[in-house]
Structure 1
Amino acid sequence: MAEEKQGHGINPSQVQPNEPLPRTYNQLLGTNNPTKTSWPELVGVTAQEAERKIKEEKSGAEIQVVPPDSFVTADYRTQRVRLYVDESNKVIRTPGIG
């Protein structure tokens, strides 16, 4: 008690809360499932494996396999994920939404 009178008590701003603060806007709203927009871990796997994994994580994804030296449109589509592959059908670039 004597310590608190001298200013050595607990500062309320230093007390740790019971729950951590939300790290994203989605967590603040009550969802803990932020939407994934790219899959760097799929570089080097086959197009079929990459397509399966992306569809597991993003239902409704429209997968587009892009062979070497192919042209693509510049439009942006929120459900499309392009898989750029080499001659052996392995992903060579990080797949991402667009």
Structure 2
Amino acid sequence: MSKTSWPEVVGWPATQAVTQINADRPDVAIEVIPNGTTVAPGYNAERVRVFFAAGIVATGLVVSTPVVG
């Protein structure tokens, strides 16, 4: 069964998280998005969104569990 979530990457640099997700699921598109950005709703079985900390003190760290959808 294919992996559908990556709770282990929370707190990782976004680039490292993308590398891990791509290794686990090369069949999905990965969107890297600043936390707080409005995104279009809807489920997409071929997408993973990675939200990272951005702003005045931008860390680039993943802030929530990336999931397929």
Task: Tell me if the contact between 2:33 and 2:49 (Cα under 8 Å) persists in the aligned partners.
Answer: yes
My pick for the range that moved more, 35-44 or 64-73, is: 64-73
Sequence identity (%): 35
- Report the CA distance between 1:73 and its aligned residue: 1.0
Tell me the amino acid that sits aligned with residue 39 of structure 1. Answer: W
Residue aligning to 2:40 = 73
Provide the TM-score with structure 2 as the length reference: 0.87
| Within-5 A mapping of 1:3-14 | none
| Within-5 A mapping of 1:30-45 | 34-45=1-12
* Number of matched pairs: 65
**Residue 25 (structure 2) aligned to one of 52, 58, 62:** 58
Provide the TM-score with structure 1 as the length reference: 0.63
CA distance in 1, matches of 2:67, 2:16: 15
Structure 2: any 5+ residue segments left out of the alignment?
Answer: none
Query: Which one has the bigger strand percentage?
Result: 2
Quote the RMSD (CA, aligned, Å).
0.9
Query: Which one has the bigger helix percentage?
Result: 1
Is 1:96 aligned with 2:63? no
Larger Rg: 1
